[in-house]
């Protein structure tokens, strides 16, 4: 436990001693602030109530794109510098190591989201905001981003170069955003496309279903409406669990070679 | 600050026990069936050319990678099943000395002490002692990435000893240091060796002769020598090679010596005003009387006559490179059977 705490503290410190943390913080708050101002204008122009859930969904998209910057160095850097050798010859288990890395990235994202709470307060000044729904929305955002971070951590563990890890994670993030769009473009309902005596429509329906299930952001929609969706919670936690498990196995894999 | 060892471990004298250790990588035998034992309190030098399997062996001892075949026990604990307990007992400095360059020296050593389970109350003292011992007092608040190579190496060394380990494993601890720094690191290691077991690998043979009570020489994954530096050198000297420094006509003298009954081979080195002959005996007997009589008969001006002293460096070359070249070299120069505790397959493998 002291090991885990020491590791998390170090990882967090690394973010804040490098310019990375400040660049990410500035960029995130700048883009988010512009979007928030614009969307408040829109709500006012349409004379519609403030839809804070919509703003939160936008933030998740933005965080999905930022996640590669947060996760890329986590394990890839330890491998390229060779510090994984000092780490794994100290009494530190693979699980402690991986969990600490993940926790640090997660805490960093939570820190990134903290200032955005003032948007909700600000919006409430000029309209009505359902704070309960906003709180549920934040839970949804955090666990959705946790899934992306776990994926990024896993990719970082497979790469010996943090730039490679960053690019691969960015591709994965973009795929997560694009997949639901593909699902929407695919023909809806029953599909019949007989070719060479096979009805390919079945595959299209299956693919659509699969893409729909992989739609991370779709799973968090219920949260931003104020519903803590138990199914979605289980979904995100299993995705996080799966990727952390894979990451620990990848770190351990040097022992099988 | 060094705690005394518990009584049960004092009885148990064996620190490292390696039995038929083999490590295979796809297509490569990194370590090939080696066995050795290291007792508590020994400083053991681990020698071998690059790629001989030193680092692999050390990584297995520190539980970074598991052995393919064989048993490795550290302080009675098996590396396969008791990895965590062993990691607590061992301090390790890897060859590349990886460090977190963005951290400050003190902060890093404190972090490592925490990972290695040094209790909160003792930590500050343990960190201070490690920094002091490694001469890092002045730079304790500097950022590691900005330190010179010598200081970085000492930071790695401080990390290896901060939790007061029973066994310290150092992979090339003095690589890339200037002579003063080498001397300092050597002092630290010697001091460690007074209370702890130290296994260190190096290329620098003079270092081994100065520090280590025992030497293991490994070549192509096989252990080719195990003993004190003196005993290894002696084993290679017994065949009785004689060295003669003499003035006169070199070619005539070579012929005369070669015509002696017990002489097998003569190597002639022509210096400016004298010649050196290295004379090898047929049966391993001492040739000095024969050479003396030959010189006296011809009235040579002998400058020096003696057994050729083999240095540890010669022994190293003999045991590592020498065993490679034996088959291809002409018989006249080295027809020395390697007096090496190695299985007969060794010669076949190296050919």
Mean pLDDT is lowest, of A169-183, B226-240, B322-336, for: B322-336
Closest approach of A12 to chain B, Cα-based (Å): 12
* Interchain contact A104–B (C-beta under 8 A): no
Tell me the per-residue pLDDT of B148-192, one tens digit each, with 9 for 90 and over. Answer: 888 999 999 999 999 999 999 999 888 878 888 888 888 888 888
Would the pTM count as exceeding 0.95? no
Closest approach of B98 to chain A, Cα-based (Å): 5
Closest approach of B270 to chain A, Cα-based (Å): 50
- Find the CB nearest A86 among B88, B98, B101: B98
* Interchain contact A47–B (C-beta under 8 A): no
Cβ <8 Å between A2 and B65: no
- Find the CB nearest B64 among A13, A17, A88: A88
Q: What is the pLDDT of residue B350?
A: 40
B197-202 and B43-47 as β-strands: parallel, antiparallel, unpaired?
A: parallel
Nearest-angstrom CA–CA distance, A160 and B291: 64
Return phi, psi of residue A61, to 5°: -55, -45
Token pair for B341: 């505790």
- Find the CB nearest B87 among A82, A84, A90: A90
* Interchain contact A257–B (C-beta under 8 A): yes
Interface test with A, best of B115, B116, B166, B169 (most A CBs within 10 A): B115
Q: What is the pLDDT of residue A191?
A: 64
Whether residue A195 is predicted with pLDDT greater than 80 in this model: the reply is no
Q: Which residues in chain A (127-156) have CB-CB distances under 8 A to chain B?
A: none
Closest approach of A28 to chain B, Cα-based (Å): 24
What ranges do the domains of chain A cover? 2-255
Q: How far is CA B9 from CA B14, B63, B194, B316, in A?
A: 9, 21, 17, 34
Nearest-angstrom CA–CA distance, B22 and B36: 13
Residue of B nearest to A82 (CA): B98
Q: What is the pLDDT of residue A106?
A: 96
Between B240 and B267, name the one with better pLDDT. B267
Cβ <8 Å between B112 and A254: no
The number of C-beta contacts closer than 8 angstroms across A and B is 68
Nearest-angstrom CA–CA distance, B349 and B32: 11
Tell me the per-residue pLDDT of A129-143, one tens digit each, with 9 for 90 and over. Answer: 788 888 888 988 899
Whether residue A71 is predicted with pLDDT greater than 80 in this model: the reply is yes
> Percent of chain B beyond pLDDT 70?
85
Tell me the per-residue pLDDT of B57-91, one tens digit each, with 9 for 90 and over. Answer: 999 999 999 999 999 999 989 998 988 999 999 99
Q: What is the pLDDT of residue B92?
A: 94
Query: Residue B276's closest CA among B254, B303, B253, B245?
Result: B245
Residue B25's SS3 state is strand
Cβ <8 Å between A91 and B94: no
Interface test with A, best of B100, B127, B142 (most A CBs within 10 A): B100
Token pair for B106: 């003190």
Model-level ipTM above the cut of 0.90: no
Domains, in order of start, for chain B: 7-227 (3.40.50.300), 236-307 (3.30.70.980)
Residue A90's SS3 state is coil
- Averaged confidence pLDDT in chain B: 81
Nearest-angstrom CA–CA distance, A169 and A63: 13
Token pair for A151: 């994926």
* Interchain contact A30–B (C-beta under 8 A): no
Contacts of B84 in chain A (CB under 8 A): 91, 93
Tell me the per-residue pLDDT of A11-58, one tens digit each, with 9 for 90 and over. Answer: 999 999 888 889 999 999 999 999 998 988 888 888 887 788 888 888
Cβ <8 Å between A89 and B99: no
Contacts of B66 in chain A (CB under 8 A): 255
CA-based diameter of chain B, in Å?
A: 80
Residue B106's SS3 state is helix
Residue B92's SS3 state is strand
Residue of A nearest to B79 (CA): A89
């Amino acid at each position: 436990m002291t090991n885990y705490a020491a590791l998390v503290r170090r990882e967090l410190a690394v973010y804040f001693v490098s310019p990375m943390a400040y660049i990410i913080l500035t960029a995130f708050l700048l883009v988010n602030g512009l979007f928030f101002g614009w969307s408040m204008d829109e709500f006012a122009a349409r004379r519609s109530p403030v839809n804070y859930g919509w703003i939160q969904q936008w933030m998740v998209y933005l965080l999905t794109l930022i996640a590669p910057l947060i996760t890329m160095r986590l394990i890839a850097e330890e491998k390229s510098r060779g510090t994984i050798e000092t780490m794994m010859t100290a009494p530190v288990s693979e699980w402690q190591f991986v969990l600490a890395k993940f926790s640090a990235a997660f805490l960093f994202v939570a820190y990134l989201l903290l200032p955005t709470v003032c948007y909700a307060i600000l919006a409430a000044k000029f309209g009505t905001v359902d704070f309960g729904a906003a709180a549920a929305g934040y839970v949804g955002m955090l666990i959705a981003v946790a899934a992306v971070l776990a994926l990024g951590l896993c990719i970082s563990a497979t790469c010996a170069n943090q730039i490679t890890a960053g690019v691969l994670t960015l591709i994965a993030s973009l795929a997560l955003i694009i997949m639901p769009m593909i699902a929407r473009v695919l023909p809806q309902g029953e599909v019949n496309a007989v070719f060479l005596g096979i009805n390919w429509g079945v595959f299209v329906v299956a693919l659509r279903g699969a893409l729909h299930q992989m739609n991370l952001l779709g799973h968090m929609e219920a949260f931003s409406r104020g519903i803590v969706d138990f199914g979605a919670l289980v979904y995100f936690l299993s995705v996080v669990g799966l990727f952390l498990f894979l990451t620990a196995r990848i770190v351990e894999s040097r022992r099988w070679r | 600050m060094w705690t005394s060892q518990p009584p049960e471990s004092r009885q148990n004298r064996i620190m490292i026990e390696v039995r038929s250790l083999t490590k295979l990588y796809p297509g490569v035998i990194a370590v090939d069936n080696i066995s050795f034992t290291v007792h508590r309190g020994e400083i053991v030098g681990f020698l071998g050319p690059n790629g001989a399997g030193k680092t692999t062996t050390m990584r297995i001892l520190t539980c970074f990678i598991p052995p393919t075949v064989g048993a490795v026990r550290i302080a009675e604990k098996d590396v396969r099943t008791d990895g965590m307990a062993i990691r607590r007992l061992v301090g390790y400095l890897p060859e590349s000395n990886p460090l977190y360059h963005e951290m400050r020296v003190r902060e890093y050593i404190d972090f490592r002490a925490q990972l290695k389970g040094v209790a909160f109350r003792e930590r500050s003292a343990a960190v201070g002692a490690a920094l002091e011992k490694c001469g890092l007092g002045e730079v304790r608040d500097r950022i590691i990435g900005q330190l010179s190579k010598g200081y970085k190496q000492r930071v790695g060394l401080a990390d290896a000893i901060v939790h007061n380990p029973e066994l310290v494993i150092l992979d090339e601890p003095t690589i890339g240091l200037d002579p003063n720094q080498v001397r300092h690191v050597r002092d630290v290691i010697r001091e460690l060796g007074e209370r702890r077991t130290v296994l260190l690998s190096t290329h620098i043979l003079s270092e081994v002769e100065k520090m280590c009570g025992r030497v293991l020489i490994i070549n192509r994954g096989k252990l080719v020598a195990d003993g004190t530096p003196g005993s290894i050198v002696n084993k290679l000297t017994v065949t009785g090679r004689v060295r003669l420094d003499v003035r006169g006509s070199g070619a005539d003298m070579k012929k005369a010596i070669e015509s002696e009954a017990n002489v097998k081979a003569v190597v002639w080195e022509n210096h400016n005003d004298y010649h050196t002959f290295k004379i090898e005996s047929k049966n391993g007997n001492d040739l000095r009387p024969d050479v003396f009589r030959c010189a006296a008969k011809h009235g040579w001006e002998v400058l020096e006559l003696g057994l050729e002293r083999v240095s540890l460096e010669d022994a190293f070359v003999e045991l590592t490179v020498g065993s490679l070249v034996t088959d291809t070299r002409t018989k006249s120069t080295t027809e020395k059977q390697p007096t090496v505790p190695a299985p007969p397959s060794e010669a076949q493998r190296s050919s």
